[in-house]
Amino acid sequence: MPKFRLLYEILMKDGVISESSVSRPEIIPAEKIHLAHSPYYITSFVKGTLERQEIRRTGLPWSEQLVTRTLTALSGSVLSAEIALKKGICCNVAGGTHHAHYDFGSGFCIVNDLAVAPLSLLHDGRVSRVMIIDLDVHQGDGTARILDGHDRIFTFSLHCKENFPFQKAKSSLDIELPEG
């Protein structure tokens, strides 16, 4: 997507980042993705065999480039979480795909990096608990649903009450703001 290249160029030009501070992720194994997503759904997405209505629900047309971008961005979020543990801070500007659910994509989100990254760290014993702070005009419904019942993950969503998704999920803590 051109927006990611443009954002990278702006951050470089403004001196916010340097080439030496940028990490390029390796695609994570499918087993890590399956911590948060149905193996059938992920395999169908990668192979391009999702049903037409499933593709339409994501808001993105399927292509091999979309598969590569999606898996790279997801892997970047997992890598960012690992780097943050070592260095205290890290950011993936292509992350935040909080509308993807366990077995379907939604709202321009195919896979949920906000669910995969903490589940990966917990699975590997790198952390004992996680707090996700989601500050977006839209509620992170996919994140809330995937992580519901995970007692070592606390999800906090600050979002507008009157927009997508129209049927909100229940995060550990939701703060709904009025429109405007």
Over the stretch 68-92, which tens digit does the pLDDT of each residue have? Answer: 999 999 999 999 999 999 999 999 9
Residues 28-47, mean pLDDT to the nearest whole number: 98
Confidence at residue 110, expressed as pLDDT on a 0 to 100 scale: 98
DSSP 134: E
Residues 147-162, mean pLDDT to the nearest whole number: 96
Confidence at residue 2, expressed as pLDDT on a 0 to 100 scale: 80
Residues 6 or more apart whose Cβ sits within 8 Å of residue 2:
none
Q: Cα dist. 161→106, 157, 158, 167, 178 in Å?
A: 18, 11, 9, 10, 6
Alpha-carbon gap, residue 3 to 19, rounded angstroms: 18
Give the CA dihedral 55, 59, 64, 66, nearest 10 degrees: -140
Question: Is pLDDT above 90 for 3?
Answer: no
Tell me the percentage of the chain whose pLDDT exceeds 90. Answer: 92
Alpha-carbon gap, residue 175 to 1, rounded angstroms: 31
Global pTM value: 0.93
Do the Cβ atoms of 34 and 42 come closer than 8 Å? yes
Over the stretch 116-136, which tens digit does the pLDDT of each residue have? Answer: 999 999 999 999 999 999 999
| Average pLDDT of every residue of the chain | 96
User: Which amino acid would we find at residue 21?
Assistant: S
Q: Using pLDDT thresholds of 50, 70 and 90, give the confidence band for residue 1.
A: low
Residues 83-106, mean pLDDT to the nearest whole number: 96
Tokens of 124: 């590997």
Do the Cβ atoms of 99 and 142 come closer than 8 Å? yes
